[in-house]
Structure 1
Amino acid sequence: MMATPDYQLHDIVEMKKPHACGANSWEIMRVGADIKITCTACQRTIMMTRFNFNKRIKRILKAASEIK
């Protein structure tokens, strides 16, 4: 079984598929049983289960600790 990535609130992540607007970076807005992410380009927000998020995440672009 694959280890889950260590992501936190306000991390900027890259997903495997780009958003319809063309951007591929998302900010994590909520972490729990569901994950809420917001597109950094068009501000569209989506929610998905933690299981689906773990399948679709590619990598963490910027950790929240690096941003502040």
Structure 2
Amino acid sequence: MERKQFELGDVVQMKKPHPCGTNAWKVIRMGMDVRIKCTGCEHSVMIPRLEFERKLKKILSHAEDETQS
């Protein structure tokens, strides 16, 4: 199975949407746990890395893409 490569500052899409209706999250902390912030309501959640990787659907934009534009 292919491992998705995500980095700090990336905007990712999770399998289930947040209750506010948004499905885009920004990665704001990485380690054994990953902290993500909802791009809609700014709510942040910290989840274990393995659970995050399992629930990650796709990477919407990379951090370096945003800094170049």
Q: Secondary structure at the match of 1:41?
A: coil
Partners in 2 of 1:56 and 1:6 — Cα distance?
14
Gaps of 5+ in 1: none
The 2-side partners of 1:24 and 1:57 are apart by 11
Instruction: Tell me the amino acid that sits aligned with residue 38 of structure 1.
Output: K
Identity of aligned residues (%): 40
Letter paired with 1:14: Q
User: In the alignment, which residue of structure 2 is the partner of 1:27?
Assistant: 26
Which ranges in structure 2 are unaligned for 5 or more consecutive residues?
Answer: none
Which amino acid is the alignment partner of residue 13 of structure 1? Answer: V
Number of aligned residue pairs: give it.
Answer: 67
Task: Give the corresponding residue for 2:51.
Answer: 52
Q: CA deviation at 1:49?
A: 0.3
TM-score (norm 1): 0.95
Residues 5-36 of structure 1 show CA distances to partners (whole Å, capped at 9, x for unaligned) of 11000100000000000000000000110000
- Which amino acid in the other structure matches residue 25 of structure 2? W
Query: Once superposed, which parts of structure 1, at least 4 consecutive aligned residues long, lie more than 6 Å away?
Result: none
Q: CA deviation at 1:4?
A: 2.2
